[in-house]
């Protein structure tokens, strides 16, 4: 009867393996999933942030100095005529019938420039004009910083479309004491032009006269 032992063991093993396979098959989930595979969203994802870029180097032209020579100039006609001191020797460009720019000839772009605009037709107070300017700056320019705001003045810095760091001064004038802004003056420059730009806009504003004559107080 010794020959039966191994045979019986083999039979038992076969039965065990078969039974285990059958039990495993019965316990398996045979259903097929539905839907389209999709990536699992990350938990608290972070957007990539670009490192701030340094400003484009300024042109190395000499800075605008305080106390440059000035001479009277007149723009506009009739009741819209204005007279004011302007830099001697600077070239003038009429951007529109009510707007003029002055630039020192021979200087590079993105150095310093002055602009004067008559805004009589807008019928806004100086306070409103300043508010509108600040809103436009923040919408249209990068890295805007309001350095100082006065009752009639605005000083700010920003990065130009060319990537240069700019320092600007603005001033609004009510020439006929109507409560409405009549003239807008701005001088743009580099940081090294700050002292000269501030002096220039002050002298232009303090010497400006409307059609009725008399300096602006």
pLDDT (tens digit per residue) in 45-60: 565 556 567 889 999 9
* 2 found inside a domain: no
Average model confidence (pLDDT) across the chain: 83
- Establish if 59 belongs to a structural domain: no
Which candidate, 181, 186, 174, places its Cα nearest to that of 137?
Answer: 186
Q: What percent of the chain has pLDDT over 70?
A: 73
**CA-to-CA dists, residue 143 to 70, 140, 166, angstroms:** 33, 10, 10
Cα angle, residue 31 at apex, residues 27 and 35 outer, rounded to 5° = 145
* Spatial contact of 87 and 114, defined as CB atoms under 8 Å apart: yes
> Is the pTM higher than 0.85?
no
- Which residues neighbour 192 within 8 Å (Cβ) at sequence distance 6 or greater? 58, 63
Q: Give the mean pLDDT of 62-84.
A: 94
Domain count, the chain: 1
Q: Which CATH number covers residue 106?
A: 3.40.1000.10
Q: Give the model's confidence band at 79: pLDDT under 50 very low, under 70 low, under 90 confident, else very high.
A: confident
- The whole-number pLDDT of residue 110 equals 93
Residue 125 φ then ψ, to 5°:
-75, 165
Q: Is residue 18, in this structure, part of any structural domain at all? A: no
Q: Are 80 and 118 in contact (CB under 8 A)?
A: yes
Asked if residue 13 is part of any domain, the answer here is: no
Classify the phi-psi angles of 123: left when phi > 0, otherwise alpha if psi is within -120 to 50, otherwise beta.
left
């Amino acid at each position: 009867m010794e020959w039966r032992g191994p045979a019986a063991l083999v039979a038992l093993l076969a039965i065990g393996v078969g039974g285990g396979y059958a039990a495993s098959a019965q316990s398996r989930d045979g259903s097929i999933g539905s839907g389209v595979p999709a990536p699992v969203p990350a938990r608290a994802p972070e957007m990539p942030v670009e490192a701030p870029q340094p400003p484009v180097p300024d042109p190395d032209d000499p800075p605008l100095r305080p106390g440059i020579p000035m001479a009277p100039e007149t723009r506009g006609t009739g009741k819209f005529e204005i007279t004011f001191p302007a830099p001697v020797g600077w070239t003038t460009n009429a951007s529109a019938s009510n707007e003029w720019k002055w630039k020192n000839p021979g200087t590079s772009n993105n150095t310093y420039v002055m602009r004067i605009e008559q805004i009589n037709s807008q019928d806004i107070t100086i306070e409103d004009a300043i508010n509108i300017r600040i809103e436009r700056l923040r919408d249209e320019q990068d890295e805007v910083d309001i350095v100082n705001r006065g009752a009639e003045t605005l000083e700010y810095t920003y990065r130009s479309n060319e990537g240069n760091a700019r320092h600007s001064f603005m001033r609004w004038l009510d020439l006929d004491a109507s409560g409405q802004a009549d003239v807008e003056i701005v001088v743009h420059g580099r940081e090294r032009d700050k002292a000269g730009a501030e002096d220039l806009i002050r002298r232009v504003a303090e010497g400006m006269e409307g059609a009725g004559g008399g300096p602006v107080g």
